[in-house]
Structure 1
């Protein structure tokens, strides 16, 4: 039943993710100057309430003895000293350096980022091998099928989050969508993720005690492959539409015919989101089935870590490529071709996209919108490659022998508590 509970948790996450932008828009509409402060301020009491609820209801257990840990020992030095702070810091430095490579504007800055990445990666490897006894990425949890699942979720999350950050720019800039229209479009993807999670939970649930972990593992592998194929298919539809649909100079040009063409993007977003939501649950159940109950905390934590790394990397790399190509093309068009007032126009375009339809000379409008569309299209090509990498890696799950994984014969608990959120 773990998959079903995971689906329920993702559904509540989707409700919050859908409600948040609506509240944020309301605060901005109420006060454009300070409304953004309330967007952050309103979260403070909610986080406090959540912290109190977690403190009262979420407890730690020893899986070998099933005894509740004394809260007094929770922050003892013996426990805190086992946290891999050096490894976490160096891994973060490496990820940040990698993301900065796609956002720099000079060769010197790129060289500095490369050097920082190499030094961080080297130091991380040395610290994990020779210094720390408890690792942020345990070697036993990063081999064989477990390594493949970690990479699948990394590239899958990178593809989805890269697309989710680029497509709103496409709608808002290229087709002049309003905030309400953007929120409506995003809501379909949010609930599609939850729907995919519920489908996967229903498919993977097992009330029959005679069903062993091998059956659940096999189902998880097959479902992961199908879901990754769904992600690639949805991203391909969005990439194709973004590269080929004509820009909309004015909101009045959004006719039913244009909306019908834009529905290809909506369909692609829904397909990929359903695939993403389902494969999150499928991979989670798969890794728990492989290692059993005693090691599920370790592999689940690594699962979430690679998901978070994929999310941040996908957003950073995709937006970095988008900004890089956009700046180069705009600079080439306005500065290198010596357009009248080209430098001033370029500066205003880079400072605010609102200038496109409120101040930009009309003779430049079509070309500028085309440049933005091509920048989004290039970013979507990268997103497609990330999704394709996830799909190809998922095929290796079928080819890799699960017999190499230790402790996988332990039964999967039918009523295990779920991890929260997507």
Structure 2
């Protein structure tokens, strides 16, 4: 009897090319959207006003994306990957159209939330489908292709945002998504097929609601604490308190749920728990570099934003280069050894950042960022693939979503912690962010925080169990014929 829901496309290698193109296109939509809006903010504010509200354009998107990932991941293991990713593309399409027609800043913020809900389905589903369609030996190379989309988008996104804002209208930032969404959706409909075991499911509504409330409250407190309101304010305390209470209630409910949104027993598996911690580290290290390197270079030696962006782009170029070669590494040496080498490279790179911090130079920063990106490529892809490969179809969506969420959580925590570190230095120095020396000192402190995070990620890697590739799940073709 056939496995209950392995993609039928795995038996037809010729169909995998269009599927991969559709996944890369869908991922590209999400990746470009993460950066394209930043350069258009002045035009948006000029048209819609409410300068004090524009940070919510980014916060609400990240919030909606992060909290929806676990829900979509569970649905993918229940009803299949195809309907979930199509729902994601559809929501992203709807959100893009609404954003393009937004008449006020509050409306644009609300429609960005719709986009975020779409992104929450697309990003983890792309990684999950890769796990379904490609063998363990092939996945690293394919994940490298997906990572290259993020690398290209990090450069193309800001440039497109500037072009649309200057020569057309900021609204085209969103309208350009319409044909791309339609093409991606059509390719998935035509080329991606899967068999799903049809049976009655008991939807864990209580768990989904409690998880959403808990994650929303905690992530909101992390994103807005120290920005929209002070860390010691009643808003921050209330958000953390509500989030903690909801998550405790969620844990209690999941113990009794017939089909829990998130099976907490997964954390009892050392491979899953360690790769989740590694994902948190990856997200925190990434946000520390991508958020503070441009500010560091622009605020200390007054380089133009384009040059500062090139320094950050070096990190996103090293990542896919390493990821595409990671398959050879883990097939020969195992997952743990590959991730361990990558984590060590990240630690060395972060120490290099600390060493060069007192001497701002975009090219030296770009060189170190490339090294760190290369290390992250050997951390992120193999750790994800190890987790995916240790489970069957019915758990792969949740495990992949857990990995994606851990990176988002790491980014949110990183934003909060590194922001508090930087602000502590800037507020205590005359001139603050206008003082180049203050900027250098604040960034050096952030880089120390990034290095500490990298060391913790290395420790999590050391706790990762040694698992050989041949001891994990069979290739998709074998699974389909089981």
TM-score by length of 1: 0.70
Q: Which residue of the other structure, out of 229, 236, 243, is the alignment partner of 1:113?
A: 236
Q: CA deviation at 1:178?
A: 1.4
1:245 equivalent in structure 2: 359
Q: How does 1:163-312 map to 2 (within 5 A)?
A: 163-204=289-330, 219-242=334-357, 244-245=358-359, 259=361, 262-312=362-412
C-alpha separation in 1, matches of 2:191 and 2:177: 21
Distance 1:390 1:415, change over 3 A: farther
Matches of 2:186 and 2:204, distance apart in 1: 22
> How far apart are 1:46 and its partner, in Å?
2.8
Mapping 1:318-333, distance limit 5 Å: 318-326=418-426, 328-330=427-429, 333=430
Contact 1:93–1:120 (CA<8 Å) still a contact in 2?
Answer: yes
Residues 57 and 329 of structure 1: CA distance in aligned 2, closer, same or farther (over 3 Å): farther
How much does 1:136 deviate?
Answer: 4.2
Match of 2:462 in 1: 395
* Partners of 1:103 and 1:323 within 8 A in 2: no
Structure having the higher Rg: 1
User: Unmatched 5+ residue regions in structure 2?
Assistant: 1-137
Q: What are the Cα deviations for residues 74-118 of structure 1, in whole angstroms up to 9, with x where unaligned?
A: xx9966859723312312212222344454764641x54234313
RMSD across aligned positions (CA): 3.3
* Per-residue deviation, residues 18-54 of structure 1 (Å, max 9, x unmatched): 32222223334437xxx54433443344334434434
**Are the aligned partners of 1:236 and 1:268 in contact in 2 as well (CA < 8 Å)?**
no
Matches within 5 A, 1:38-117: 38-62=172-196, 81=205, 84-103=208-227, 106=230, 108-109=232-233, 112-117=235-240
Higher relative contact order (CA 8 A, sep 6+): 1
Choose between structure 1 and 2: higher helix proportion: 2
- Give the whole-Å Cα distance in 1 for the aligned partners of 2:463 and 2:240: 29
Shift of 1:165: 0.8
Partners of 1:220 and 1:283 within 8 A in 2: yes
State how many pairs are aligned: 338
8 Å contact 1:128–1:135 — kept in the other structure? no
Alpha-carbon distance between aligned partners in 2 of 1:199 and 1:19, rounded to the nearest angstrom = 24
Match of 1:12 in 2: 149
State the 1:266 CA deviation.
1.7
CA 1:30/1:324 → structure 2, altered by over 3 Å: closer, same or farther?
A: farther
State whether residues 228 and 390 of structure 1, in contact with CA within 8 Å, keep that contact through their aligned partners in structure 2: yes
Aligned CA distance change for structure 1 residues 263 and 183 (closer, same or farther; 3 Å): closer
Deviations 1:247-303 (A, max 9, x none): xxxxxxxxxxxx5xx433222101110111221111012113333455322212211
TM-score, normalised with respect to structure 2: 0.62
Gapped runs of 5+ residues in structure 1?
206-214, 247-258, 335-345, 350-355, 357-367, 418-422
SS at match of 2:293: helix
